[in-house]
Amino acid sequence: MFHSVLILIPAHNEAGSVSAVIREVIHRTGCRVVVIDDASTDNTAIIAREAGAMVLTLAVQLGAWGALQAGMRFALQQGYRFVITMDADGQHEARDLTRLFAPVYNGLSDVSIGACTSRGSKMRKIAWVFLKWISGLGMEDITSGFRAYNTAAVQLLAGRDATLLEYQDIGVLAHLKRNALAITEIQVEMCSRTSGRSRVYSSWLMVAYYMVQASILGFSKRGRK
Amino acid sequence: MSHVNWISATIGLLTAGLIFYLVRRDHLHTRYALWWVPVAMVMAILGVFPQIADWIGRTLGISYPPVIPLLLGLVAMVVKILVMDIERSRNEVKLTRLVQRVAILEKRLEDRLSKGGKTD
């Protein structure tokens, strides 16, 4: 089932948790894994290689989306037909991979999101309600990085127009919708992070910055093309 | 000429002179000179002949003509800065995709150099 799938894990200084994630994924699915080392200053890349992943190292820090897009371009070049994205911090469970990938594998959807709406603080939930309203996206979990994409989706997201979609959530989802790609959600459990804290919600300033950006992006990309 | 005219003339001519100097010495790319040379000329002319602003004010029915150079200047700056941000966004796209491409190429190179070992 995972024969033509590439799993992408963007990582910036995740030496503490990435190894376990990689090993679990390979153990459960035998799938090929690429870790995109987003200019880490620790030994994330070395640890990832030792755990059995391929590594793409970015010379300049591009952020999660830039890193993921690098992985998607690599996947297309190497001929993979599907891509599954996961976080490096242990939040996403490898045992959910089969269920997550099934709708895309079976051609029922172009994209499948692993949704876990019960996670996160009150603040995050309020933020979600607002962002969902302003962007008109019909999804429950808009910030989940646990997703499966088929070839059409990967080709779209690897393109120039998708390059400046800061943060992989609203911008990416809106872009997919505008290009009439089908998105479905699968309920999953998410563990609390094994290491590190949320980067987006780490301080009021960051939250405000993120909210303004996401709102503008979501609002400006409403509707079908 | 009144006191004010000397100052505006000096500012206008100095700025114009500076811009032409920068272009001559290749510190300012000719592409941007397309913007700054006209700006320099307008500043020089309005500086030496501030009566022009008065004339424009009378023609357009603006009751306080000295505000005209100020207004023009502000509008020009807004346009210029917007254009700059658009260009910066384009550069960011180029840079991002370049970094991505380099990362992919480095991997392919690594794999090729270690041929005989794992190529995945």
pLDDT in tens, B57-105: 888 888 888 888 888 889 999 999 999 999 999 999 999 999 999 999 9
Task: Quote the pLDDT of residue A60.
Answer: 95
For the segment A68-85, the average pLDDT, to the nearest whole number, is: 97
| pLDDT exceeds cutoff 70 at A56 | yes
| Cross-chain CB nearest to A59 (options B102, B107, B120) | B102
Q: Do the chains contact at B106 and A36, CB–CB below 8 Å?
A: no
- Give this prediction's pTM: 0.84
Q: What is the pLDDT of residue A224?
A: 58
Distance CA A35, CA A112 (A): 20
- Chain B residue with Cα closest to A160: B93
Distances (CA, A) of B106 to A114, A128, B100: 32, 39, 10
Which helix (DSSP H) or strand (DSSP E) does residue A85 occupy?
strand A82-85
SS3 B63: coil
Domain A5-220 has CATH 1.10.630.10: no
A-contacting residues in B 55-94 (Cβ below 8 Å): 89, 92-93
ipTM above 0.90, yes or no: no
Cα separation of A61 and A41, whole Å?
A: 10
Residues 17-36 of A with CB under 8 A from B: 32, 36
Which residues in chain B have their CB less than 8 angstroms from residue A32's CB? 120
Q: Given a cut of 50, is residue A221 above it in pLDDT?
A: yes
CB A54 to CB B92 under 8 A? no
Mean pLDDT of chain A: 88
Rounded to whole angstroms, how far apart are CA atoms A125 and A138? Answer: 15
Yes or no, beta carbons of B104 and A59 under 8 Å apart? no
Distance from C-alpha of B102 to C-alpha of B109, rounded to nearest angstrom: 10
φ, ψ for residue A16 (rounded to 5)? -70, -35
Q: Give the residue from A138, A113, A143, A137 showing the smallest Cα distance to A125.
A: A143
Q: State the pLDDT at residue B103.
A: 97
Asked if the model's pLDDT at residue A51 lies above 90, the reply is yes
What are residue A14's phi and psi, to 5 degrees? -120, 35
- For chain B, domain boundaries: 3-87
Confidence label for A202 from pLDDT (cuts 50, 70 and 90): low
- Shortest CA distance to A40 belongs to which of A62, A7, A66, A11? A11
- Residue B71: strand pairing partners: none
| Pure H helices in chain B | 3-24, 30-48, 51-60, 67-113
- State the pLDDT confidence band at B1, using cuts at 50, 70 and 90: very low
What single string gives the DSSP state of each residue in A41-66?
Answer: SSSHHHHHHHTT-EEEE-SS--HHHH
If you search the block for the tokens 């963007």, which residue do you land on?
A: A10
A151-176: pLDDT as tens digits: 999 999 999 999 988 766 788 998 99
User: Residue A129: what pLDDT?
Assistant: 84
